A and B are shown apart, each in its own frame.
Chain A
Amino acid sequence: MLSWPEPFVWRALFAAIGLAVIAAPLGCIVVWRRMSYVGETLAQAGLLGVALGLALHIDLTLAVVVAAIAAVGVLTLLGRQRVVPLDSALGLTHHATLALGITAIALAKGPGIDLMSYLFGDVFAVTSTDLIWVYAGGAVVLAVIFYLWEPLVRLSLHEDLATAEGINPRLPRAAFDLLLAIVIAVAMKIVGILLVMAFLVVPAVAARPLSRTPVGMVLLAAAIAVASTIFGLWLSLSSDLPGGPSIVIAMCTVAAISLLAGSRRQG
C-alpha cells in the first residue's frame, strides 16, 4: 500500500477537491437551465483559447477564459436564430470548436506541446500555481454565485415570472456565463477539456433524485463530488489508472445508483 503520499499526490487531491466544491453550484444551475451541451461547447472553445495563448504568448488560463466568453457570445447569437433548432445549432458549434481547436493547436505547435494533456488533463501534474488558480479563482466564483444565488434560481425556475417580478435577467445570466468560463479554464488542466463538464454535471445529476431543495442539491452534489474525488484518486494510484477519468467514473457510478434509486421510488 501507499506510504505517506508524495507532494504531487497532495496537490492533485487539493486541486480536485477544490474543483469539486466550486463546480457543485455551477453544475446544478447548468442542469436546471439545461445547459450541458452549452457547457461542452464552451469547454471545447478552450482548445482554441490554448492555441491563441500559445500564439500570442499570453497566460493560457486567461486565454481559455477569453475564448470561452467569445463562445458564449456566439451561442447567444445562435440562440436568436430561428433557422434550425437550438440543439442542432449547438451540435454544429460543438464540433466546429473541437475541430478548429485541434487544428489551431497543431498550427501553433511548438516544442513540448501535447494536445493530449489539454484534452484529457493530468491531475497529477498540477503545480502550486494551478492550486492558487483553483483556490483564489474558486473563492471569487463562490462569492459571486452566493451573491447571485436567488435571482439565478428564480430565473432557472421561470424566466418570465422572475422578470415580471422585477429581476433583470441579463446581469445574472452574463455573470453566470463568465463564471462558467472561468471554472472551465481552471478545470481544464486538471481533468481536461473532454471531461470538464462531467465534473459539473455528473454530481448534480447524482444529487437530484435525493434532494428536496435547490441548496440541498448543491450541498449534496459537492459532497458526492468530494467523495468521488478521494475514491477516484485512490483508485487511480492503487491501480495505476488515469486520475481524472477515475474520478469521473466514481461520480458516474454514484449517479447511476442514485438515478436507479430515484426511479424505483417513483415507480
Chain B
Amino acid sequence: MEKSFLSLSQQTGYGSPRPAASCDHDHSHDGAPVENALISARDLWLRRGGRDIIAGVNLDVLPGEIVTLIGPNGAGKTTLVRLVLGIEKPDSGRIIRPASTRIGYVPQRFEVDAAIPMTVEGFLALGGSASAKEIANTLDEVGARRTGHQQLSKLSGGETQRVLIARALLRRPNLLILDEPASGVDFAGEAELYELVGKLRDERHLGILLVSHDLHVVMAKSDRVICLNGHVCCSGEPEHVSQHSEYARIFGPKGASSLSVYRHHHDHAHDLTGEPKPLAPDDTHGRGS
C-alpha cells in the first residue's frame, strides 16, 4: 500500500453501484432493499422521551463501500448504529441483514475499565477461536503489533482503536461498523486511522459504515455520505453533500467549507513513513469530476 491517506480518498474504490446523490427525499430507498447490500434499513423510527430520535431513516451498505454517517451531536448517529447492530429495537421499520453478513463492530469511546485486568492478547482471544498466530498477524495488520502483552487499560486512544479493529477483524467480517473511531485520537493519529480503514476496505473488500463527528477528513474518503439529523437530511457523494444547503444549515458555513479547504490546500501527500511526497497526477482530481 503506497497510497497516501489523501490519495485513498480519491480512489474510485470498487465498482459498487453508487446511488446518485439525492438531497431532497431519497425515494430510491423506499421499498425493497438494494440487491447484495450487506445491511439495509428501511423506514426506521425510534421515539424516546417524546422525541423522534430516528425518523424514517433508510440505509444501505454495499460490499467494498465506505458509507459515512455524519451529523451534529444528538443527531441519532450512535442510536442508528445500535439499531443496525440489533442492540436496540426500532419502534417501527425493518433491518434487513442477509445471513451471509458478518459484522465487526468497533464501539465508540471504549474506555477500558481499569478495574479489569486484561492483556491485549487475552482480549482478542476472549470469546473467539483465534489462534495466537492469527492474533499476532491481525495486530500486525492494524499496526498494533507491539501491544500484544500490554494491559488494555494502559493503551493510548489510537492503540485502543486499533486493537478494537483487530478484534472486529478476527470475527472475519464482511461489514465493519465503526462508531467515531477517531474520538480521543489526535489529528495525526486520526488521519492514520482513516488510512487504515481505507486500506481494510481495499485489501479485504469490506463494506464499512463509519460514524464521524469530523467532517472534512472522513468525507473525502467516503463513497457515500449520509447526513443525519434525526431524519436523513441529505446523502450522496461527499462533494455533493458538502454543497447541499441542508448540510450548510446544520454545520454552518465553516463546516461546509472545511471539505474544500482540506482538499484544495494540500499540494503534497504523505507516505506511510510520514515523508511528504508529491501528489500523483490523478490525486489532483476529485473523484467523479
A164 CB contact (under 8 Å) in B103, B112, B123? B103
Q: How far is the CA of A165 from the CA of B113 in the complex (A)?
A: 19
- Whether B200 sits at the interface, judged by CB under 8 Å, is no
Query: Assuming A161-B164, A164-B105, A216-B117, what are 18 further A-B pairs, CB within 8 angstroms?
Result: A31-B115, A32-B113, A34-B113, A150-B126, A156-B113, A157-B112, A157-B113, A157-B126, A158-B107, A160-B87, A163-B87, A164-B87, A165-B127, A165-B171, A211-B117, A212-B151, A213-B122, A214-B116
Given contacts A161-B107, A163-B87, contact A213 B119 (CB under 8 A): yes
Q: A residues 145-162 with Cβ under 8 Å of B?
A: 150-151, 153-154, 156-158, 160-162
Q: Tell me which of A153, A162, A165, A217 has the highest count of chain B C-beta atoms within 10 A of its own C-beta.
A: A165
The count of A-to-B residue pairs whose CB atoms sit within 8 angstroms is 62
Closest residue to A82 on the B side, CB-wise? B49
Q: Which of chain B's residues have a CB closer than 8 A to the CB of A213? A: 117-119, 122
Contact (Cβ within 8 A) B126 A164: no
Asked if B123 contacts A157 (CB within 8 A), the reply is: yes
A156 to B123, CA, bound (A): 12
> Considering the chains assembled together, what is the distance between the CA atoms of A213 and B117 in angstroms?
5
A-B contact pairs, 14 of them (CB 8 A): A154-B126, A156-B116, A157-B112, A157-B126, A158-B110, A163-B85, A163-B87, A164-B87, A165-B127, A167-B127, A212-B119, A213-B117, A213-B119, A214-B118
* Nearest-Cβ distance from residue B170 to partner chain A, whole angstroms: 11
A214-B112 in contact (CB<8A)? no
The answer to the question of A94 belonging to the interface, with a C-beta cut-off of 8 Å to chain B, is no
Distance of A153 Cα from B118 Cα, bound (Å): 10
A150 vs B123: C-alpha distance when bound (angstroms): 11
| Size class of the contact patch on chain A | 20 to 34
Q: Are A164 and B117 in contact (CB under 8 A)?
A: no
Binding site for A on B (CB under 8 A): 82, 85-87, 103, 105, 107, 110, 112-113, 115-119, 122-123, 126-127, 151, 164, 171
In angstroms, Cα B115 to Cα A156, docked, is 10
Which residues of chain B are near A189, meaning CB under 8 Å? none
Indicate if the CB atoms of A164 and B116 lie closer than 8 Å.
Answer: no
Residues of chain A in range 70-108 having any CB-CB distance to chain B below 8 Å: none
Chain B nearest CB: distance from A50 CB in Å?
32
How many angstroms between the C-alpha atoms of A163 and B107 in the bound complex? 11
| B112 contacts across to A, CB distance below 8 A | 157-158
> Which chain B residue shows the least CB distance to A211?
B117
Are A165 and B105 in contact, CB atoms less than 8 angstroms apart? yes
> With A and B bound together, what is the CA distance between A160 and B108 in angstroms?
10
Considering the complex, give the chain B residue whose CB is closest to the CB of A266.
Answer: B154
Q: How far apart are A51's CB and chain B's nearest CB, in angstroms?
A: 34
Closest to A217 in B: B117
* Cβ-defined contact, B115 with A34, below 8 A: yes
CB distance from B5 to the nearest CB of A (A): 27
1/0 per residue, CB under 8 A from B, across A156-188: the answer is 111011111101000000000000000000000
CB atoms of A164 and B86 under 8 A apart: yes
Residues of A contacting B103 with CB < 8 Å? 164
Q: Which of B86, B110, B113, B116 contacts A161 (CB 8 A)?
A: B110
Q: Report A39 CB to chain B, min CB distance, Å.
A: 14
Enumerate chain A residues within 8 angstroms of B116, measured Cβ to Cβ: 32, 153, 156-157, 214
| Residues A153 and B115 in contact, CB atoms below 8 Å apart | no
Q: Contacts A150-B126, A164-B86, A212-B151 hold; do A157 and B118 have CB atoms under 8 A apart? A: yes
Give which listed residue, A151, A208, A212, contacts B115 with CB less than 8 A: A208
**Cβ-defined contact, B117 with A150, below 8 A:** no
Q: CB-CB < 8 A to A151: which residues of B?
A: 127
CB-nearest residue of chain B to A220: B117
In the docked arrangement, what's the CA distance between A158 and B113, Å?
A: 9
Residues of A within 8 A of B164 (CB): 161
In the complex, A167 Cα to B171 Cα: how many Å? 14
Interface residues of A in 198-228 (CB under 8 A from B): 208, 211-214, 216-217
CB of B105 within 8 A of CB of A161, answer yes
> Chain A contacts of B113 at CB under 8 A?
32, 34, 156-157
Complex Cα–Cα for A158 and B163 (A): 14
Residue of B nearest to A216 (CB): B117
* Bound Cα distance A91, B82 (Å): 31
Which residues 136-152 in A have Cβ within 8 Å of B in the complex? 150-151
Q: A164–B118 contact, CB under 8 A?
A: no
CA of A160 to CA of B103, assembled, Å = 14
Minimum CB–CB distance for A30 against chain B, Å: 10
Choice from A32, A154, A156 contacting B127 with Cβ under 8 Å: A154
Bound Cα distance A31, B116 (Å): 8
Report the separation of the CA atoms of residues A253 and B39 in the bound assembly, to the nearest whole angstrom: 55
